[in-house]
Amino acid sequence: MPPPIRLPWSVIIPVKPVAVGKSRLTGISAEQRRDLAFAFALDTTLAALATLHVRRVVVVTNDPEGKVFRDLGAEIVDDRPDAGLNAAILHGAQDVRSRDGDSGLVALAGDLPALRPADLSAVLEAARSTYWFVGDAAGTGTTLLAAAAGHVLSPAFGPQSRSAHHAQGAEEVTCRGIERLRRDVDTVVDLRDALRLGVGAHTAKIVAGLELDPDACRR
């Protein structure tokens, strides 16, 4: 078995303007959907910032409230392409590579409210390929795509992205203890599952005002 890839990593998180995000979270108001989408991104960013082996976290966004991510400690890159998540990720990757060619690149979904630093650290330590990904809980999508320094990152996030990244030659990492990393949230059912796993403080605060009555809403 090859040794793990030991690199400093730059994590790139694309964040849509919350006014257009999470339309599949039904049964709640548009304002609550916006608040949840922003909370998901904040909790995801905080987990990445606290992860071992992560050199920087770059949030690619045009959201008017995007400066909040800088307050947390992340770097902000304007989403100049404004052409969807994959274009935003590529733009962020180009920005990082222009400044730091020795860093590995990690494209991370921004809707992982249950993510903990230990989950992300575990998968970074387990990776033994120069190009790899983590599939989502549904088994069809992707929550993370990574490329070692010197290797091209070609994101294909969206429906059936797991198959798309496999077709690119990316290796799927399936180590233990990454359930939270695989739990992206698009629907209320997804949210309930994330709450079962334990979500971050920003998401918990918003959920406390909703009529979801989860068994657990904090880490």
pLDDT by residue, tens only, the chain of 219 residues: 666 667 799 999 999 887 776 778 888 888 999 999 999 999 999 999 999 999 999 999 999 999 999 999 999 999 999 999 999 999 999 999 999 999 999 999 999 999 999 999 999 999 989 999 999 999 999 999 999 999 999 999 999 999 999 999 999 999 888 999 999 999 999 999 999 999 999 999 999 988 664 443 444
**Contact (CB, 8 A) for 73 and 58:** no
Domains detected in the chain: 9-207 (3.90.550.10)
pLDDT of residue 191: 95
**Contact (CB, 8 A) for 165 and 133:** yes
pLDDT of residue 1: 60
pLDDT of residue 105: 98
**Contact (CB, 8 A) for 207 and 214:** yes
**Residue in this structure with the two tokens 């549904």, named with its chain if needed:** 138
Q: How far apart are CA 106 and CA 127, in angstroms?
A: 12
pLDDT of residue 89: 98
pLDDT of residue 215: 43
Q: How far apart are CA 170 and CA 132, in angstroms?
A: 5
pLDDT of residue 70: 97
For 155-160, the CB contacts below 8 A with 24+ separation are: 155/85, 155/86, 155/89, 155/90, 155/107, 156/86, 157/85, 157/86, 157/89, 157/107, 157/109, 158/85, 158/86
pLDDT of residue 214: 43
pLDDT of residue 218: 43
pLDDT of residue 158: 92
Whether the full predicted model's pTM is greater than 0.85, yes or no, is yes
